[in-house]
Amino acid sequence: MTELLNYFQSIQIKGMGWILLVSLFLLGNLPILIIVYIYLAAVMIMRTFLAQFPKGAKLGLIGIYGLLLVLQIVFVSVGVFPLRGQTLMYFPAKALVVVMLLFPLWVERFVTTNNQTAFYLPTVEEFATVSFDEMRRDTDKLRSVLAATTDAKDKVSVAHLKTILADLPRHSATRYINHGTLTDDYFEAATATLDDHRLYLAVSNTGSAASEMISVVTRKQFNHVSLAFDRDLATIISYNGGDNVYPPGMNAETLEFFHQKAGASILVYSLPVTVAQKQFVIDKIAEINREGSAYNMVGLVSKHSAKPNIMFCSQFVYKMLKLAGVAYFDKPGGDVRPTDFIEQDYYKKLKFEYELTF
């Protein structure tokens, strides 16, 4: 026990470190604390990748950081902030929430000390110190972060977190779980559009829990993209969570899917293609439908897929365009965001068709 306390005491907190911790205690709300937890976990995972640990130790540490992150978010969301304004126990509970920020640092210090590896953890002061000159230079950035944090207050809500956590067991990062959800009627409707020499891209702001959370990171209003073979979007398709009807993966979509909050909207663009290119995309989608698919939730962070048909929405749309020879920008599939289809259209290949608002 004494040895464990020594590890805790080895995390030195000075100056700016104390200021940051006290500021989080006094001013930190639920969205800010969750963002700090996620940021620190991401930093520690990156440090683990760069450290000279055995592969098993790296995987173990990453697993611990992930578990700590889940426990931190659940505790602060369910066990602390519901006490606000209800009982004085809120204040010691919030103090514990701030102390929990140091848990990943203690875990790393414990591991590195016991393995005697030449990998040293900076103090909290070294990790967070910023000069006044740098603060003045970064005033605009700080204001932007504060504005984003204010916007995140509603998006990183307890309800959204519960929705996402409840949905996680339906997903798989390593195997295909969605098989044959597209019917013969769908492919007949898609084939009937071959006289229309266009593919249609629908970039949307759906208002789903996942979309709202993603927007906090991307700072983009539109965080979903779909592919359709007709202008009216009767054949619209993408990778999604299945809307609790189908397994996560490649699924047909309906307009009701996009209307999950007031003010949700869709921007529809067309891209000229040949009959052969359009038929190729239809055939490729039929192939994925036969082989199976899954939604690449892990890839949203890692930018990689365990199998070819495990993708997220923008990864899927970009792959279809790339394979058909009609991609109009070049980017690794895992790095493509929904808004890239608009923002990367430097050669004006797309034609704006219309906007739908709900």
The mean pLDDT value of the chain amounts to 81
CA 340, CA 201: separation in Å to the nearest integer? 12
The band of 7, judged by pLDDT with boundaries at 50, 70 and 90, is very low
List pLDDT tens digits, range 16-73: 566 777 777 887 788 888 888 888 888 888 877 777 777 777 787 888 888 888 888 8
The answer to whether residues 79 and 15 touch, using CB atoms and an 8 Å cutoff, is: no
Among all chains, which residue has been given the structure tokens 């700590």?
68
CA 203, CA 222: separation in Å to the nearest integer? 6
Domain ranges of the chain: 2-144, 184-357
Least confident of 43-52, 145-154, 220-229, 335-344: 145-154
> CB neighbours of 121 closer than 8 A, spacing ≥ 6?
11, 105, 108, 109, 112
Q: Assess whether pLDDT exceeds 90 at residue 342.
A: yes
Q: Flag whether the pTM goes above 0.85.
A: no
Q: Assess whether pLDDT exceeds 70 at residue 15.
A: no
Give the burial string for 207-230 (b: 16+ CB within 10 Å, else e): bbbbbbbbbbeeebebbbbbbbbb
List pLDDT tens digits, range 82-96: 777 777 888 888 888
Pairing of strands 237-240, 265-272: unpaired
- In terms of Cα–Cα distance, which of 229, 104, 222, 210 is closest to 164? 210
What's 184-357's CATH class?
Answer: alpha beta
Among all chains, which residue has been given the structure tokens 């998006």?
155
Q: How far is CA 324 from CA 57, 116, 320, 344, in A?
A: 43, 53, 6, 18
For residue 208, the number of C-alpha atoms closer than 13 Å in the C-beta half-sphere is 19
The better pLDDT of the pair 83, 14 is held by 83
